[in-house]
Amino acid sequence: MTLRHSVLATDGAARAGVLHTAHGEVPTPVFMPVGTAGTVKAMTAEALRSAGARMVLGNTYHLMLRPGAERIAALGGLHRFMDWHGPILTDSGGFQVMSMAQLRRLDEAGVTFRSHLDGSEQRLTPERAVAIQHALGADVTMVLDECTPFPATEAEAAASMRLSMRWAARARDAFVPRPGHGLFGIVQGSVYPALRAESVAALTALGFDGYAIGGLAVGEGQATMFAMLDATVPLLPADRPRYLMGVGTPADIVGAVARGIDMFDCVIPTRSGRTGRAYTSRGVLNLRNARFADDPRPLDPDCACPACARHARAYLHHLFKCGEMLGPMLLTWHNLAYYQDLMRGLRAAILDGRFAAHAAAQAARWAQRDEA
């Protein structure tokens, strides 16, 4: 395994570094837009690059069902297929099997389920998940795990986590090392610190290129999520990247970076963009609100994206009220650009040794009301 992460600076537990992959270097901390089915919704690859994205996420579950990993491989791999020539991380599909698939049956070998698309029976094992991601050409492959439901008793969480650890060992054996590609293990254990510690010990004994923290942001609340990070992150190897899966809001990200997380993904900026919610340096705005109908100001004066540089809030409000597709496109672009600006600001603050002051100043700005 040759994927590397260089830590350039620390400020408290916060880290700034570089992830070295087969398709380029990625400054960390990094936010990865979610391109579940080979596209980040409402965004072209060129728009993603313009918004500042450096790495994106695809998904094994969706791509294996449609159009199929073998077809994508025959067409030159996922990078070529979606015109994204930077690094790609592919989620193993475990969360989607739990949340979307029909008639899921779990056993020691893997999971059998029926596709949410056509009801066809499908089988996913740790080995097959790795093979699919290999066919896609992912720079970062994720092990197959069971995403433990929340809430779960400690006994239920323990059984789920230990199954995921056995699957992780099989994924480790199945992974084919090649330059610039890597395999990440996933820490599970729900909201039980002792189980999280047991999971870290099992994964680090196997040895992975990076370590993800899964099973959070599933309803436990921000305070509990941060408590689990406090219990887990210090146990992870300092020389490997740390990835908090499926998180989150800007405040979630700042708090997680403060605790030593390097990598993030979440559907929030794109999903919110499609429904009229904008993340800005002054908080969250709902562009469907009537107060924006006559507002001539830019969405966020600190943002240079097309939505902010070329249009007024009144125009964006008009697009959503009329159901025009340009509204979700512009607001998705803005939200992704805002998230990338957020990450750049956090990284610069870490490199300059002023992370705490930067985070406090940002929180104060979010707390201010954006008056019409």
* Domains, the chain, with CATH or none: 4-266 (3.20.20.105), 273-367 (no CATH)
Mean pLDDT of 324-339: 98
Mean pLDDT of 97-104: 80
Cα–Cα distances in angstroms (integers) from residue 42 to residues 15, 139, 328, in the given order: 32, 24, 7
Secondary structure (3-state) at 26 = strand
pLDDT in tens, 170-194: 999 999 999 999 999 999 999 999 9
- CA–CA dist 62, 123 (Å, integer): 13
Q: What is the pLDDT of residue 102?
A: 75
Mean pLDDT of 91-114: 88
pLDDT in tens, 278-315: 999 999 999 999 999 999 999 999 999 999 999 999 99
Would you place residue 371 in the very low, low, confident or very high pLDDT band (cuts 50, 70, 90)?
low
- Reference 132, options 61, 192, 211; nearest CA is 61
Mean pLDDT of 43-61: 97
pLDDT in tens, 223-258: 999 999 999 999 999 999 999 999 999 999 999 999
Helices (H), the chain: 45-51, 60-65, 69-74, 78-81, 94-99, 126-136, 154-174, 193-206, 222-232, 250-258, 268-274, 306-310, 313-322, 326-352, 355-367
Which residues are tagged catalytic? 91, 265
Torsion sign (Cα): 201, 204, 206, 209: positive
- Residue 364: phi and psi, rounded to 5, are -65, -35
Instruction: State the average pLDDT for the chain.
Output: 96
pLDDT in tens, 125-171: 999 999 999 999 999 999 999 989 999 999 999 999 999 999 999 99
**In the predicted model, is pLDDT for residue 368 greater than 90?**
no
- Reference 15, options 309, 242, 291; nearest CA is 242
pLDDT in tens, 205-215: 999 999 999 99
**In the predicted model, is pLDDT for residue 1 greater than 60?**
no
pLDDT-above-90 percentage for the chain:
94
CB 33 within 8 A of CB 99: no
pLDDT in tens, 264-273: 999 999 999 9
53: left (phi over 0), alpha (psi -120 to 50) or beta: beta
Would you place residue 95 in the very low, low, confident or very high pLDDT band (cuts 50, 70, 90)?
confident
**In the predicted model, is pLDDT for residue 372 greater than 60?**
no
pLDDT-above-70 percentage for the chain:
99
Write the burial class of residue 235 (CB in 10 Å: 0-12 exposed, 13-18 middle, 19+ buried): middle
